[in-house]
Amino acid sequence: MLFDAYSASAELVSLYKKDWQEFDAFVFENLHFMNDNGFVSIEDGFPVGFMSWDPRQLPNMNWSYN
């Protein structure tokens, strides 16, 4: 979805493509991660957007998503 959303900006895609792919790989290997770190926006019963983040980089956190 990110590739599609930013397809009009080749510069942004080239800057972030590797990060997006790495995060996607992590999420697919750790699907339980999205229970607490991902949200889907719904309108009229249809998904229209999403948000996720990676809390493993936050200070003083002991994340065990390995």
Write out pLDDT tens, residues 5-42. Answer: 788 898 999 999 998 888 888 888 888 888 888 888 99
Q: What is the pLDDT of residue 18?
A: 92
Separation of first and last alpha carbons in the chain: 25
> Going by C-beta distance under 8 Å and a sequence separation of 6 or more, which residues neighbour residue 14?
none
**Cα R_g (the chain), whole angstroms:** 14
Q: What is the pLDDT of residue 58?
A: 74
